[in-house]
Structure 1
Amino acid sequence: MKKLFTIICLLCMVSTFSYAQNFRYGFTGGVNLSKPMGDIEPQCQAGLLLGAKGELGIPSVTKGFYTDFGLQLSAKGYKFQYGNMVNTDERHFTENLNYLVVPVHIGYKIECSKSVSLFANVGPYAGVALWGKHKSYRNGKKFHTESDIFSGEYGYKRFDWGCGFNVGVEYAKHFQLSFGADWSLMNVSKANDYTYKNRSFTFSLGYLY
C-alpha cells in the first residue's frame, strides 16, 4: 500500500507539469462521523473537516479522468459510554484526535448536463495527528481532561495512513457536494495488546475555482 501511495503521488506530480491548464483548486468543509475499528465498540463522534483541495484533469487518458488531492484538517475520535450498576452513575468519555491529512485520489467524472456532473474517486491518504484530548464525564458533568494522549505506553501514534473514497455531484463547474469514507490500515495504538484503527464517514461541500 505504501508503494501504491508513492506511485500515485509521482503520477500526480508528473501530470501537474504536463497538464497545468486542466488544474483547478478550491476549498472544502464538512463533518466527520468517526467510529474506529478494533478492540472497542464505541459510539460515533462528530467532528469538523476543513481544507484546501486540487483537481487535475487528465484528458490524454480519457475524458473525465482526473486526480484529486488536498490538505485537510480532520477531527476524528470516538465516544464510549459505560455505567456503574451499584450507584447507577452514567459515565462516558470522548477521545478527540485532530489530524492533518493528505489524500491523493484517482477519479472519474461524468457530465449529465451542462450544469451537473457526477463523480467518484478513490485512493490512499496519509495523516499526522497535531493534537488530541481525552474528556471524562459523570452524569453529564466533565470531571477529567487529559491533553497529552500521544505519550506513554498506552498513548496514540501520531502517524496514520489508509485508503478512502468519495462520491458526489458537481454543479455549475464549481460547487461539489460529496459523501466519503476513510479506513485506516494502521494500528495507531501504542499498546501491544490493543488495536485501534481510524474509520470515518464524511459529508462535505466544496468550491472549485
Structure 2
Amino acid sequence: MRTILKFSLVIIALLLVANVNAQEKPATFGVKAGMNLSTITGDATDDVKAKVGFNVGVTLDYTLTSDLYLLTGLELSTKGCKEDVGLSKDATSNLMYLQLPIHLGYKLAVTDATKIVFHAGPYVAYGIGGKTKISESGVEVSVNSFGSNRVKRFDFGVGLGVGAEFGKIGVGLGYDFGLVNIVDVDNVSNKNANAYLTVGYKF
C-alpha cells in the first residue's frame, strides 16, 4: 500500500516539476464535492442495500496533449452499505477512505467555454475511519468498521466517468469498481462499488 501511494505521489510531483519548466503543459488545480451511492458486492450480499454518502477533495488536471489530460487529486470519500440482517436487526457500514484516482481524460470542446469530459483509470484508497452501526429492536451499537476480522484498510480498483466543464465550473458522474477483497474474514470476498455525482471549480 505504502509503495503504491509513494509511487503515485512521485509521479504527480514529477509532473508538477515539469510544469514549472514547460508553459505549454499547464497544470490546473481545483476543488470538488458531491454525493456517493455506495454498496458492497460479492459473497452473501443478497440483503445488502446502497447507502448515501459524500465525497470532497482537491483535483489536478495535467495537460498531456491538446485533448488528453491526466486527471488526479486527493479526495475524502465515504463508502459502505446497509444490510438487513433479519429478525428486526439491521446494520449500516460507514467506511471513510482517503482516495487517489489516476485517470486518463479526454476533453471534447463543444464551444470555447464548454467541454465534455470522458475519463477512466485506477484508484488507490486507504481507510482512515468509520463505524458500523448495528440496530436491533430499537437498541443501537457502534463498532469500528476497520480492524481484525472486519474490513481491511487498503482498497484498489478502477473507475470511469463522464462530465462537462462550463468555464471554471464542472459537473461529473462516475462509478468506481473495487478489485480487491476488503474483508478480513475467511472464505468471504467482498468488494467496494460506488457511484458518484460531483460539482467542482477550477482555479
**Could you tell me the TM-score, scaled by structure 2's length?**
0.87
Match of 1:80 among 83, 92, 96: 83
Q: Determine the structure 2 residue equivalent to 1:87.
A: none
Is 2:196 the counterpart of 1:199?
no
d(CA) in 2 for partners of 1:7 and 1:144? 39
Contact 1:35 1:198 in 2 (8 A): yes
Residue of structure 2 in register with 1:23 after alignment: 27
Could you tell me which amino acid in structure 2 is paired with residue 109 of structure 1? K
Q: Deviations over 1:150-181 (max 9, x none)?
A: 222x2111111111112100002x11100011
Cα deviation, residue 117, structure 1: 0.6
Residue identity matched to 2:63: G
RMSD between aligned alpha carbons?
2.2
Aligned counterpart for 1:48 among listed residues 26, 50, 54: 54
**Structure 2 counterpart of 1:105, which letter?**
H
Residues 7 and 72 of structure 1: CA distance in aligned 2, closer, same or farther (over 3 Å): closer
Q: Say if 2:152 is the partner of 1:146.
A: no
Residue-by-residue CA offset, 1:1-37 (whole Å, 9 max, x unaligned): xxx9998877655443334441100101001100111
Question: 1: distance between equivalents of 2:85 and 2:183?
Answer: 21
Cα distance, 1:183–1:6 mapped onto 2, change above 3 Å: farther
- Change beyond 3 A, Cα 1:164–1:6: farther
Normalised by the length of structure 1, the TM-score is 0.85
1:161 aligned to 2:173? no
Asked if the contact 1:9/1:104 (under 8 Å) is kept, the reply is: no
CA distance in 2 between counterparts of 1:193 and 1:101 reads 27
Hey, what's the Cα distance between the residues in 1 that align with 2:15 and 2:160? 21
Identity across the alignment (%): 27
Note the C-alpha offset of 1:79. Answer: 0.2
Per-residue CA shift, 1:92-130, capped at 9, x if unaligned?
Answer: 210111000011111110110012110011111111100
Q: Which moved more, 1:44-53 or 1:90-99?
A: 90-99
Matched positions, count: 195
